[in-house]
Amino acid sequence: MDPNQSQPPPTVSRRTARWTIAACAVLLIGSLTGVAYLAVSQWRSNSDAADRIVSEAAGMSFVAPEGWQEASQEGGGRLVYGQVALEQPGGEGAILLGKLDSSLFASAESDNAKAACTLGSGMGEFFLPSSGERVDRENREVKGREVDGDSCFYRVRFADDDPQAEVYAAVVSSGDERWWITWLGNADAPVDRAAAHALAESIQPL
């Protein structure tokens, strides 16, 4: 064979060709998926930032549950606990948020799970009109973008005709800083536990 003669292109089997095409398709799909993920993440980040409520006093920001807004403290009103109160216009229930400091017994608990249960117990005793049986307890771990912690939920079944009450409490931390939320509800305005969990996860330090 003449060494100067051009060599014929190598033969590629159909099977090899199919696998090559499939691999290229996977790489293309993976690339497009990555672009889509970045676009969605950026959109979520921008949307999240626009909806954030900032509390300088508590040193945090958060995203309120849908339909809830920051309660006005005009007229010299002052919160008994926390730095922020949320209300649902035309609805019942209340959400309180704040920095976990020495004003609350729960701050003595270094473990977030114990602190959340202590917080929920104390808030229930303070805000509910009478004692009752605590049922349907649930504890969950909270893992947000910048905080993690624990939550505690329970219902209170009263002996009289008072409607059943509900209490959700969470304590989250970032480094040495800790924050808390309490959502109080009843049979007519039950606590939305998924929304409460999302609220706790949305907390970010300033």
63 backbone dihedrals φ, ψ, rounded to 5°: -110, 120
Q: What is the mean pLDDT of residues 197-206?
A: 97
Asked whether the predicted pLDDT for residue 115 surpasses 80, the reply is: yes
pLDDT of residue 39: 42
Whole-model pTM? 0.75
| The one-letter amino acid at 82 | G
Superfamily assignment of 56-205 in CATH? Mog1/PsbP, alpha/beta/alpha sandwich (3.40.1000.10)
Rounded Cα distance between 178 and 115, Å, is 10
Q: What is the mean pLDDT of the chain?
A: 81
Q: Where are the domains of the chain?
A: 12-51, 56-205
Rounded Cα distance between 173 and 123, Å, is 20
**Short-list 182, 193, 195, CA closest to 83:** 182
pLDDT of residue 206: 94
Positive or negative, the Cα torsion across 84, 88, 89, 90?
A: negative
End-to-end CA distance of the chain: 77
For residue range 132-154, list pLDDT tens digits in order: 889 999 999 999 999 999 999 99
Pairing of β 133-143 and β 52-55: unpaired
Asked whether the predicted pLDDT for residue 190 surpasses 70, the reply is: yes
